[in-house]
Amino acid sequence: MHVPDGFLDAPTSVATGAVAAGTVAIALRGARRELDERTAPLAGLTAAFVFAVQMVNFPVGAGTSGHLVGGALTAVLVGPWTAVLCMTVVLVVQAVLFADGGLTALGTNVTLLGLVAVAVGYGAYRLLLPVLPRTRTGVLVAAGTGAFLSVPAAAVTFVGLFAAGGVADVPLGTVLAAMGGVHLLIGLGEAAISVAVLAAVLSVRPDLVHGAAHLRRPADLASRPGLRDREPVR
């Protein structure tokens, strides 16, 4: 899903490049709030995780397998700003080391997969959390919906960019329907994988999940009866 060179004309590429640069600049400040001075090692290792997990083929049922894009999942795991940085770094590495996604289209790719996918995925997650029960299931449903929406959102944004600065005159409605339809299916796979991975992390280290901070509670340790009256130790 990485846009190569030459798909969009120069003005569109420059515009998305500016959007991407601005997003990364803001994300660099935001990530400091999420991770303080540990930003570089933690975001770097999380980016390595995203890179590795994108190579995994997950069986998503009906004999098919898919791989993760990971914008929404990463945002829920480590916070949206850090997720933007991780996705950006992964895209840079893929562009310069694997020629996957053009160098002139790097801004477009960061805008689509770094900004739109993370913003829509995490935005939907945050919007849904208050209306869902404050439980593990609530977190999983919200994250799954976010992951599901993030994929068609990025695809539809790409179609919009293609309409604005594409190099071919195509009937917009047809392309929009085709891309949207295909990516709704891919979104289902993304949601299934994201929920499964998030559930696995929540069951072993819920304290690491940035988006589930509201589920944290003090440890269920109690002091010995008699010492004091069953006051939880924090």
Stretch that binds another protein, among 102-110, 136-144, 148-156, 215-223 (CB under 8 A): 102-110
Mark residues 124-163: x for contact with another protein by CB under 8 A, - for none. Answer: ----------------------------------------
Selected from 17, 19, 30, 53, the binder of another protein by CB under 8 A is 53
Stretch that binds another protein, among 35-43, 130-138, 144-152, 223-231 (CB under 8 A): 35-43
Selected from 20, 75, 78, 129, the binder of another protein by CB under 8 A is 78
Q: Closer to another protein at the Cβ: 127 or 208?
A: 208
Residue 42 near another protein by CB under 8 A: yes
Q: Closer to another protein at the Cβ: 52 or 131?
A: 52
Selected from 72, 76, 89, 153, the binder of another protein by CB under 8 A is 89
Residue 192 near another protein by CB under 8 A: yes
Residue environment code for 113-142, b if the CB has 16+ CB neighbours within 10 A, otherwise e: bbbbbbbbbbbbbeebbeeeeeeeebbbbb
Residue 167 near another protein by CB under 8 A: yes
Selected from 49, 126, 128, 188, the binder of another protein by CB under 8 A is 49
Q: Closer to another protein at the Cβ: 22 or 130?
A: 22
Residues with Cβ within 8 Å of residue 205, at least 6 apart in sequence: none
Residue 92 near another protein by CB under 8 A: yes
Stretch that binds another protein, among 1-9, 127-135, 140-148, 224-232 (CB under 8 A): 1-9
